[in-house]
Amino acid sequence: MSRPARRRASALLCIAFVSSAPAPARVCRDAPFPEYVQKLQALTPAVAVERPAPADVARFFAALPRDFECFNHLFGYYDDAGPFYAKPYLHLLFRHIARAVPERDYVAKIVGLSVNAHGQADQTGALKRASREILDRRAHVFVAALEPLDAASERSVWAFLFGAPHPSNTPLTLEVQARVCKASERSCESSKQAYARARLNERRH
């Protein structure tokens, strides 16, 4: 076999190997990933409408995972698009959910999903917006949901809220900062440090 022929054969072998390689595994902590997909797929038609029923959005919310990694595998882009990357549209759905479930349950789950989260656009960006809306409107409730977390986990929540790309577009207002500081000394310092770090990184870029 000539040298060019050997090169072509080698290239074809590499392509075949890559195409046959297994896709990265999607994992969830408390249940197999396919179980989450099955439950959420069954509930999606009822909530992917203009005015979903409160009972339907409450069931959908209850079926969501409690950790960001699993959530991102379902709704984000983890090497490729997750099964719910496009539908249902969480930017709208979270607002329906907030009215359909008890505030304490809603806030606890949204804050829990924000632990070790990282900013993205599209569906996972809806989580960041939902978490930030709670902080801005109900700061003392948001801070109460942070209390059970260890210090590192709380810092990760604040970093998620104020992270890239442009924290100056949605600044931490003095009013909200005062309410956070009134509710918790730890949250006061963590929020200030996270916001200052985010602004510094923004200026550097």
Hey, where are the domains in the chain?
25-204
**Which tokens in the block code for residue 167?**
């924290």
CA–CA separation, 61 vs 76, rounded Å? 17
Task: Kindly report the pTM of this predicted structure.
Answer: 0.84
pLDDT in tens, the chain (205 residues): 555 445 444 444 333 333 333 445 788 988 999 999 999 999 999 999 999 999 999 999 999 999 999 999 999 987 889 999 999 999 999 999 999 999 999 999 999 999 999 877 788 899 999 999 999 999 999 999 999 999 999 999 999 998 866 777 788 899 999 999 999 999 999 999 999 988 888 777 6
